[in-house]
Amino acid sequence: MARKHTDHLTFDNPVTRHPDITPPEQDQDMPGLDAELEPRTDRGERTYRGTGRLEGRKALITGGDSGIGGAVAIAYAREGADVAINYLPAEEEDAERIAELVEAEGRTCLRIPADVTDRKTCDRIVEEAVDGLGGLDALVVNAGRQVATASIEDITDEQFDETVKTNVYAMFWLVRAAVKHLEPGSTIVLSSSVQAYSPSETLLDYAMTKAAMNTFGKGLAKQLAPKGVRVNIVAPGPVWTPLQVVEGQPKDKLPQFGKGQPIGRAAQPVELAPAYVFLASPESSYVVGETLNVNGGADSP
C-alpha cells in the first residue's frame, strides 16, 4: 500500500517521494533566486521535521539563502541550532524567506550579506557570526560558483579566477578564520560535488575546484581530529537549485536535468539536508574525513 509523503522521515518510495521534474528552459542573472525558479524547490519548508539533534548549536552556513544551503539552514534550525547565513546582497529576497522560517522555530537567524571572494570579507563573516551567535561550533562551506562552458578556449581568465576564488580560496579563508573559535565537538562540513569524481566536459573549472575541496577536507580532517574538531564533506549529485539556471547547465539540457541518475530524477535540496545534519551531530562522532555521496545512485569512490 502506498504511503502519503508527509515529511522527510516518512517511509515511502524514494523514486517517487519527490516529483520527476522536467524544468523548462529558463535563465536568471547571476546569482539567481529560488523565488524565481520554475518549478520551485523543496527546501524542507513543509517537509523537514526536526528531532533535536543539534540543540544549542551555533552554525555559520555560506550560500545559506537558497538551494542546499537554504535547506540546511531550515533543517539546522528545526534540529535546535541558531544559524548565521551568508549570501550575496542580490539574494536578499531568498535570505529573508529563510530567516522567516528559521525564526519561526524560535531560533536566531543572523543574515550576513557579503561576497566571499575577498579574504578580509571572509574574516569578517566569521567574526560577525561569532559575535552575533555568541560563539561558533559548526561551519558549513557551501557557497559555490558553477558556469557551464563548452570549450576550454571559452573559459576566460575572469571566469576561472571567480570560480576558484569562490569555491577554493573562500573555503580556505573561512576555515582558517574559524578554527580558532571551534572547541572540541565542533564540526566543519564542505559542499563538494559528484563532479569531483565524474566531471562533465562543460564544467572543467568547477569540477577541478570540487576535487580540490575533497583533498583539502580530508587533509584538514587529519589535522583537526586530535583537537576533537571533525571535518567531513558532502558530494551532491544533480540537485534542483538556482545554480543550474543561471549558467550552471546548458539551457537545452535543463529539461533532462537529473534524469540520468539510477533513481531517475534530480534531488530536491531537502534531500541533502539530513546528510549535513548527520555530519554536524554528535551521532557521527567517529566519522572523520568522509565524503558522503548523495547522488541518487551514481558510481563514486
Tell me which residues are annotated as active site: 206
- Angstrom distances, CA of residue 251 to CA of 25, 68, 126, 153, 239: 6, 21, 36, 20, 16
E runs forming strands in 142-229: 187-191
Per-residue cell: 56: 544549542
Instruction: Give the burial class of 127: count Cβ atoms within 10 A of its Cβ; 0-12 exposed, 13-18 middle, 19 or more buried.
Output: middle
Question: What are the Cα distances from residue 112, in Å, to 131, 137, 175, 201, 258?
Answer: 12, 17, 17, 34, 32
Of all residues in the chain, what percent are helix, strand and coil, respectively (each to 5)?
40, 15, 45
Q: Which of 188, 184, 144, 204 is nearest to 168 (CA)?
A: 144
Which amino acid, 239? V
Number of helices followed by number of strands (H, E) in the chain? 8, 7
Q: Which residues pair with 190 in a beta bridge?
A: 141, 233
Please report the DSSP string for 59-87 in residue order: EEEETTTSHHHHHHHHHHHHTT-EEEEEE
For residues 5 and 12, the answer to whether their CB atoms sit within 8 Å is yes
Tell me the C-alpha distance between 95 and 214, whole Å.
28
